[in-house]
Amino acid sequence: MERFVDGWNIVQTLGEGAFGEVKLLINEKTNDAVALKIVDLQRAGDAKDCVYKEERIHRMLHHPHIIKLLGKREESNVAYLFLEFASGGELFDKIEPDVGMHSGEAQKYMTQLLDGLEYLHRRGITHRDIKPENLLLDEENNLKISDFGMATIFRLKGRERQLDKRCGTLPYVAPEVLKGPYFAQPSDIWSCGIVFVAMLTGELPWNEPTTESPEFARWVKSTCITESLWKKLSTMAFSLARKILNPEPAKRLKLPEILGHTWMKVEFTLNEDVTDNVEQQCKRIALPRDTENKKEIPLLPSSQPTARVPYVDISSLTAVLTSNKNQISFSQPTQNDDLLLNSQISFTQSQLTQNQFKRLVKRMTRFTAKISQESTVLRVCKALDYFEYPWSIDPASIITVSTVDSGKLQLVFKISTIDMDDHVLVDFRLSKGCGIEFKRRFVKIKNSLTDIICRV
Ligand code: ATP
Ligand code: MG
């Protein structure tokens, strides 16, 4: 465990981004939890400007479906953004590769996403990088829009401007963004449409919305209807997808129209057995499509050097979880001025409840093994060799897999093992590349290790 400042410890890495890492900070006395986004200001020439802009925009935003920015601190060449901790992880983790999720769940997330987006647009702000990795969940699985690194103001004092900076993530980006200039609102709405399709199918429809992509070309010509991806959607969902993903921005549905669409109003029975539903959906898929990987459009540098901040072992936290649960005291929040020496933003706190503690170990890209830590590492390495994924291992036994996906784009992920006394936690974390591709590989590796995996 690493000490951040007196009383606050870094207990876990929550994610990696283009400029640095996001860590979980816990207050020793109160167990308050805060997400800490660490930005290396030297990593790219414009990192400083980017983080200032991110802060300026993010601090204006106060909405139940937008993650809160609690403060900022800067030291020499590092900026720290303190964020409300989303203990439910990424929406991404709710999407099962090639399957998606239950329609009722997707409808809930879609409503919350559009609600948050409506607020943003009303304030004249566009997000420009809406994707499931930037949509986080709180303890009650409520969606929170996050990562304002590419956000900008498109309307000021009632005057709207067109934008021309090509930014976002290619599979989610609207076609007009690549042609520029473009209007902000329809382009964010397009990205929500891709999130909608990803939630219901577990696939991304194309790598990029250009003629380079045969899938996109068929979508534009409306000759895609027989494709396995689109066949996974009900008629109603398909009709909504067609209207949101209209290549002509002026004809694309607007937010109130999406909210008024029949699919958004259907009452899906949420208690319907999701597994059955998933199985039914699986049966309808002829052959899962091996979608090529996704490129980031370089607003931020696409090369992501290995993390500068040392990996933080979560064993201290899991020890609390497994052996010491009843002794955790959850006191009332105290002052946190020590954390935010240079901050001008008042600090609101979130308390880490026992449930949240449990959720920390509930990520989808994990499993537990019933053999020793050493044997687990060996078996994982063997599986990587079998699938011909190049890997390396460091002295702390963290395996880094560095491969390319079917679209020849870089895919890097890390596998760490944590000894939990009676079992071993095997944790997969994406470092660079497409999340869906990463998950497919996770599932492949996991399926090849069923004999050592503990059944829940
Ligand atoms: P990128 O440019 O790659 O999108 P970034 O550098 O802008 O990333 P974020 O998207 O803000 O960084 O964060 C990276 C990841 O860290 C997220 O995808 C998420 O998994 C995790 N994360 C970020 N903020 C939080 C938070 N408040 N609570 C929990 N996890 C978080
Ligand atoms: Mg992000």
**What does 333-381 look like in DSSP terms, one character per residue?**
P---GGGGTT--S-----B--HHHHHHHT--SSEEEESS-HHHHHHHHH
Instruction: Verify that 168 and 259 share a domain, yes or no.
Output: yes
**C-alpha 266 to ligand 1 mean position (Å):** 32
Instruction: Verify that 249 and 376 share a domain, yes or no.
Output: no
Task: Over range 204-210, report the average pLDDT.
Answer: 93
Asked if the structure places residue 208 within a domain, the reply is: yes
Q: Please identify, by atom number, the ligand 1 atom nearest to the C-alpha of residue 144.
A: 27
Asked if the structure places residue 20 within a domain, the reply is: no
Q: Please identify, by atom number, the ligand 1 atom nearest to the C-alpha of residue 22.
A: 16
Boundary (domain end) residue, out of 237, 258, 273: 273
Q: Pocket of ligand 1, candidates 61, 93, 147: which has the most ligand atoms within 8 Å of its Cβ, to mutate?
A: 147
pLDDT interval class at 271 (50, 70, 90): low
Asked if the structure places residue 159 within a domain, the reply is: yes
**C-alpha 83 to ligand 1 mean position (Å):** 10
Q: What is the pLDDT of residue 307?
A: 25
Nearest ligand to the CA of 20 is: 1
Query: 326 by DSSP, 3-state: which?
Result: helix
Residue nearest to ligand 1 atom 18, measured at CA: 133
pLDDT over 80 (residue 312):
no
**C-alpha 165 to ligand 1 mean position (Å):** 22
The CATH number of whichever domain residue 223 belongs to comes to 1.10.510.10
Q: What is the pLDDT of residue 422?
A: 81
Asked if the structure places residue 404 within a domain, the reply is: yes
Boundary (domain end) residue, out of 232, 254, 273: 273
Q: What is the pLDDT of residue 336?
A: 36
Q: Pocket of ligand 1, candidates 142, 146, 304, 438: which has the most ligand atoms within 8 Å of its Cβ, to mutate?
A: 146
Distance CA 133, CA 142 (A): 15
pLDDT interval class at 414 (50, 70, 90): very high
Which tokens sit at 91? 């929406």
Q: What is the pLDDT of residue 61?
A: 97
Q: What is the pLDDT of residue 435?
A: 81
pLDDT over 70 (residue 360):
no
Domain that holds residue 420: 280-326+363-452
Residue nearest to ligand 1 atom 31, measured at CA: 14
Instruction: Verify that 237 and 300 share a domain, yes or no.
Output: no
- Say which range, 14-18, 35-39, 103-107, 273-277, has the weakest mean pLDDT: 273-277
**C-alpha 220 to ligand 2 mean position (Å):** 29
pLDDT over 80 (residue 75):
yes
Ligand 1: list residues with CB < 6 Å. 14-15, 17-19, 22, 35, 37, 67, 83-86, 90, 133-134, 136, 146-147, 149, 300
Instruction: Verify that 189 and 163 share a domain, yes or no.
Output: yes
Task: Over range 395-404, report the average pLDDT.
Answer: 91
Instruction: Verify that 196 and 287 share a domain, yes or no.
Output: no
Cα angle value 98/99/102 (rounded, 5°): 155
Asked if the structure places residue 204 within a domain, the reply is: yes
Pairwise pLDDT comparison (416 vs 117), residue with the higher score: 117
Residue nearest to ligand 1 atom 13, measured at CA: 17
**C-alpha 24 to ligand 1 mean position (Å):** 11
Task: Over range 384-389, report the average pLDDT.
Answer: 95
Q: What is the pLDDT of residue 386?
A: 95
Instruction: Verify that 163 and 232 share a domain, yes or no.
Output: yes
pLDDT over 70 (residue 306):
no
Asked if the structure places residue 108 within a domain, the reply is: yes
**C-alpha 18 to ligand 1 mean position (Å):** 9
Distance CA 167, CA 296 (A): 8
Q: What is the pLDDT of residue 270?
A: 60
Q: Is 231 exposed, middle or buried (0-12, 13-18, 19+ CB in 10 A)?
A: middle
What average pLDDT is seen over the chain? 80
Q: Please identify, by atom number, the ligand 1 atom nearest to the C-alpha of residue 304.
A: 3
Q: Please identify, by atom number, the ligand 1 atom nearest to the C-alpha of residue 147.
A: 11
Instruction: Verify that 210 and 313 share a domain, yes or no.
Output: no
- Say which range, 5-9, 166-170, 282-286, 397-401, has the weakest mean pLDDT: 282-286
Q: Which of 187, 37, 53 is nearest to 117 (CA)?
A: 187
pLDDT over 90 (residue 365):
no
- Catalytic position from the list 32, 98, 129, 147: 129
Q: What is the pLDDT of residue 219?
A: 95
Q: Please identify, by atom number, the ligand 1 atom nearest to the C-alpha of residue 129.
A: 4
Asked if the structure places residue 56 within a domain, the reply is: no
* Known active-site residue 385: no
pLDDT interval class at 440 (50, 70, 90): confident
Question: Which amino acid belongs to residue 9?
Answer: N
Nearest ligand to the CA of 133 is: 1
* Tally of domains in the chain: 2
Cβ contact 33:85 at 8 Å? yes
